[in-house]
Structures are given as structure tokens and as C-alpha cells.
Amino acid sequence: MSDLPHSPGESPGRRPGSRLLLAASLLAGIAAALFLGASIPEMVGGIAGIGSRTARLVLKVVGVIVALPVAFYLVERWFLSRAGRRKKE
């Protein structure tokens, strides 16, 4: 009988507020990725002496493109490790 699906309110493995926490974590991860993905290449461009606005813009775009999947991956890993700790308790 344990193979039967649970009703929405009876999920045994879901912590209360976990969806809200996931949404907040993803939003914070996106904000951090956008900020760091744009500011770090800007600093690197300044140190390297790149004066072209187009080149700096391309660096920022590449930085954001790289930072967004990294942020999603880190949030996912955090939630998976959090779920693993829940099962061991």
C-alpha cells in the first residue's frame, strides 16, 4: 500500500516551506549571477586595459551566460544535500 500516491497535503518527504525556500534561493542565485557575471568581467576588462565598450559588453554577456548555470547548479546541489540530510535524520 505504500506505493500509492499521497495526497498533496500528505507528502512525507517534503519539508514545510521548501517550495518557497527554493523559489527564494533561485531568485537570489539569479540576482547574484547577474551581479557577479557582469561585475567580474568589468573589473577584468579594466585591469587588462580594454577600452572598447563593445569588448566590455561582450565580456559581460559571456560572464552572465557562464554565471547563470553555475548559480542554478549550486542552488540545486544545496537542495539535494539538504534533502539527503533530511532522510538520514
Q: Which residues lie closer than 8 Å to 78 by C-beta, 6 or more apart?
A: 25
**Cα–Cα nearest to 25, from 64, 75, 66:** 75
Name which residue leads in pLDDT, 18 or 29. Answer: 29
pTM for the full model?
Answer: 0.69
Q: Which residues lie closer than 8 Å to 15 by C-beta, 6 or more apart?
A: 86
With H, G, I as helix, E, B as strand and everything else as coil, classify residue 5: coil
> What is the average pLDDT across 1-21?
62
Annotated domain spans of the chain? 17-88
CA gap 44, 1 in Å, rounded: 59
Cα end-to-end span (Å), the chain? 24
pLDDT tens, 27-67? 999 999 999 999 999 999 999 999 999 999 999 999 999 99
